[in-house]
Amino acid sequence: MKEGRRLKSLSPFATIIPYIMVERSDSQNTITDSFDVSGAEKLVRQLRTEGYDSIGILHIILAAYVRAISQRPGVNRFIRGQKIYARNGIVINMAVKRKMSLDGVETTVKLKCEPSDTLIDIYHKFNKLFEDTVTVEDSQNGTDIAAAIIGHIPGLIKKWVIWFLKLLDYFGFLPSSVLAVSPFHGSMFITSMASLNIPPIRHHLYNFGNVPVFIAFGAKRAELVLNEDGSVSKRRVVDFVANLDERICDGYYYASTLKMFKKYLISPDALLEPPEEVINDVR
């Protein structure tokens, strides 16, 4: 399998679930949470003085999720043909606007990471990807080109082409060239509402492809907190919503992963160093 290896040691119940909940829309759960951004803002200010001029909260969110996968690889699984696979590598998809306007063109970028990546590794990888595919005027990445080709196919033939692509995807026969540009294949899809200054959207998962997690985060906002001594203090938080494919791992595993993800968001300094150990998924 191009994208991963089939897991054969899972419990019988886990292997049956994808046959009961066939579509990803059947099996998506949603959780809403927030995190205190004071630690992230402090680290951002520090790193900007060290020369990382464009580093921001988004880089920390990406690095925190990659680090969580390095310790909880089960969330990096995917469903293919009603069977569960462990993904090779980490691929994060993100939709971005080339220009922040009503008529601005949207494109999708695919960030390829390693479980051992640090925050600085991800900063460099993401910024290079963004510069190559978004900031260059009139540039087109592979996703744009593929969408343009399919978009020019007449309607009835286009419907057949999409059906045929879904058939190939079900059996794992999609060409590597298609997988490399598809925004529907990857470890996670993330979208930022911060630049729009609105709360995070509760986004659905796509039935086509195999992305098992969709995370949306919103703009920073002030929140009043009641302290143990009865006093009230103000803090700045960021809300996020995660849509999860429950077929790839159980609720306890997801909860453990999200707690770890949030821990790194609140205290991101640990992301400056690689993990002490990268944990591999089961066989």
How many Å apart are CA 42 and CA 251, to the nearest integer?
33
How many Å apart are CA 238 and CA 80, to the nearest integer?
34
What is the per-residue pLDDT for 273?
98
DSSP annotation of 216 reads E
Phi then psi dihedrals of residue 175, to 5 deg? -60, 150
What is the per-residue pLDDT for 195?
81
Task: Output the furthest CA–CA distance in the chain (Å, rounded).
Answer: 68
8, 23, 172 from 18: Cα distances, Å: 14, 8, 16
What is the per-residue pLDDT for 155?
87
What is the per-residue pLDDT for 142?
75
What is the per-residue pLDDT for 99?
66
What is the per-residue pLDDT for 13?
95
Angle at which helix 119-130 crosses helix 57-71, to 10 degrees, equals 120
The β-bridge partners of 189 are: 93, 214
CB within 8 Å of 20: residues ≥ 6 apart: none
What is the per-residue pLDDT for 90?
98
Superfamily of domain 4-272: Chloramphenicol acetyltransferase-like domain (3.30.559.10)
Q: Which pTM does this prediction carry?
A: 0.93
Low-confidence ranges of the chain (pLDDT < 50): none
Q: Taking the CA atoms of 230, 233, 235 and 239 in sequence, report the sign of the dihedral they define.
A: positive
DSSP annotation of 80 reads E
* Nearest alpha-carbon partner for 162 in 208, 108, 93, 205: 208
How many Å apart are CA 32 and CA 251, to the nearest integer?
15
